[in-house]
A and B are shown apart, each in its own frame.
Chain A
């Protein structure tokens, strides 16, 4: 009896979770003009339309470049800060840690608004770089927290050994610490990529004509329901799933128990 109720309930929740994605993907293959029942297809015309739309393809490229560069920067800064705060007893260390993780508790909307007002006051024009600055702000605390949580005493001993053998501080960092922490660094980079890739409001506020994919999708869907939006959404879904599988196979498999 309990089992039967449980199966029905879990089935209902899975249906709720999957319903919008199934509808999205199904109607991306719609042959007619509107992504609503009845289904006419399958047809690839909307995928073709997406690939022939220079605004969407360039936004896709922009999103990719912004995600990779900002994640790289956030991971580097987060790693350096985590190392400095875990290895050296600096005065006010707790406070500094709090300051670096503070942006985690603030809505993206408010971070974006702050940067908009700030850049506006300084006369800095809207651009992909401005949005990228915001992406580093949101991802840096995350990278810092991930790397910091993985810094243990046993690694400090290996670093000490390297120093005793004559390595300079930067050599210790680049040749000893970073390779030991690679799963944490990879996880930071990957998570930052997914957040940057999906981020809307900061990019919306800080870019103008040349923009990222979520903003371009937003522009597209303001024109109404359109199977082209389904097609581009399904493509993003596909890309993300592939990335998730890559992450699953590399980051988790190699980590020793």
Chain B
């Protein structure tokens, strides 16, 4: 390769590289350095990190986040799988695209607005309580808004759709021959599903589950609008540090801890997440 070609190659990637280094890598390094300069103690120390593990209320935010995120992931898989299966196998081929587009349609609202709409639905005088009381199933309105349940419902709404897409894509790639072969070898529909179809759709489940985990654990809006301040999740704890107290070092340390948790999830799922080149 000629020297001018090498130069053209470097010249074309330099802007993107510079942008990434300057506005992504450098801020991250600054955040890491600042996290080691605690606001109160001063000087250079790991106090923000030791404090995180020593202070039960901080630690609680991480376990809350993990509990909520894992629960959301599990609920979304359980709800999405049968739906994806129905779309991929029972809906006639030419209606499938329309059926999927319909399932994605409501997500064209702004995501702040989506959480707010769930608040309307779940509020004390909202449509769910109103309907249940009219039907005589409830005497008093149930407290759903500002609880963990509301956060989980709000999250699951989006992730059921996301997982439906990844599982559907996976189911469509499966040749029907697998099911036929299983049937020829004497497996009933249930056995064929459990031993053949389900293991073959594990990649679709895992890709969706990983996306769910990463997107849910870093989200501030859904727990803040729907869960309220009764129990804090990690993003709420981080935002609280910069909002009320202006404690950038602690917020930085918490952000880095959150990022480490996401990285661990990534490593755990890495074998399912191979990105293939077209």
Contact = CB atoms under 8 A, between A and B. Distances in A.
The answer to whether A and B assemble together is yes
Interface of A: 2-3, 6, 9-10, 13-14, 16-21, 23-24, 27, 34-37, 76-78, 80-81, 83-85, 87-90, 96, 99-100, 102-103, 105-111, 113-118, 120-121, 133-134, 136-137, 140-141, 144, 149-150, 169, 173, 197-198, 200-201, 205, 213-214, 217-218, 221, 225, 229-230, 232-233, 236-237, 240-241, 244
B41 interface: no
Given A21-B117, A117-B31, 6 more contacts: A37-B126, A88-B6, A113-B238, A114-B30, A137-B24, A173-B12
Contact of B217 (A107, A133, A213, A240): A107
Contacts of A87: 9
Contacts of A35: 120
A89 B21 CA distance: 21
Contact of A233 (B17, B113, B219, B242): B113
B113 A88 contact: no
B266 A105 contact: yes
Contact of A100 (B16, B90, B108): B16
Interface residues of B, number: 79
A241 B120 contact: no
Contacts of A80: 12-13, 15-16
Q: Is the contact region of chain A dominated by helix, strand, or loop, or is it mixed?
A: helix
Interface stretch (B55-63, B179-187, B192-200, B252-260): B252-260
Interface of B: 1, 4-6, 8-13, 15-17, 19-21, 23-28, 30-31, 34, 79, 82-83, 86-87, 90, 102-103, 105-106, 108-114, 116-121, 123, 125-127, 130, 157, 160-161, 214-215, 217-221, 225, 235, 238-239, 242, 248, 251-252, 255, 258-259, 262-263, 266, 277-278
